[in-house]
Structure 1
């Protein structure tokens, strides 16, 4: 979307369906190195574009990454808890169950915020 290309157009350029592109975007399916390289070629971005703000990497000048606003995500995903939660979450195959986990975490976070404001 950032580059103005639809999932369908990207899929056509790669010889795959837009549904497969959706699965890549959602993290349902993993992307192999050669496919990632082809995606980068079609989008006219370096492969490193997909790793901006990743732990251990510096974003390239002119990239589309949000500099500081996403750093808390990188910090969390670099933490022991973030790694454990991420590894466990991606093993959940049922999309409805993943959505319920997200809803549960949001509900817990909301209730903690409410209890913090009452103190």
Structure 2
């Protein structure tokens, strides 16, 4: 769970364009502490979670959205953290490049231009798939 919460902190921070230093300043923390939260190395307490929700402009439950259910007999402790980290690393939605792309997309003010960009990306994806076959 700590890894998942940290991943959600990182995703939201990146979508907002905040550096770890900027978020740390808003919370009166060091950027190293923010790194530890994002990696799931340190547990985020209830009070800090509340502060994070305000700093990142999301409700507290945002950090628990998409939390996978642990299967019966699942590993716990470090093994669970490692498995969660591998799952996170494999998720394209968790990659910094994806988050930057989404941010850049929404920086486009003209809806028609945004639509054309989306159409272009889809066409490029289809072209890439056709080449792989």
Deviation at residue 90 of structure 1 after TM alignment: 6.2
Q: Which residue in 2 is equivalent to 1:12? A: 25
Asked whether 1:89 is paired with 2:102, we answer no
Per the TM alignment, residue 87 of structure 1 is displaced from its structure 2 partner at its CA by: 2.5
Shift of 1:88: 4.2
- Name the structure where helix makes up a greater proportion of residues: 2
1:79 aligns with 2:71: yes
Structure 2 counterpart of 1:113: none
1:38-91 CA distance string (max 9 Å, x none): 01001110001101012xxxxxxxxxxxxxxxxxxx2xx420243xx2334368
Root-mean-square deviation (CA), in Å?
A: 2.1
Partner of 1:2: helix, strand, or coil?
helix
Q: Distance in 2 between matches of 1:26 and 1:88?
A: 12
Shift of 1:10: 0.2
- Give 3-state SS (helix, strand or coil) of 2:15's partner: coil
Pairing of 1:59-70 with structure 2 (within 5 A): none
SS across alignment from 1:16:
coil
- Stretches of structure 2 lacking an aligned partner (at least 5 in a row): 1-13, 87-133
1:109 paired residue number = none
Cα deviation code 1:14-46 (max 9, x no counterpart)? 000010000001111111000000010011100
Runs (4+) off by over 3 Å? none
TM-score, structure 2 length as denominator? 0.47
CA–CA distance in structure 1, aligned partners of residues 28 and 80 of structure 2: 26
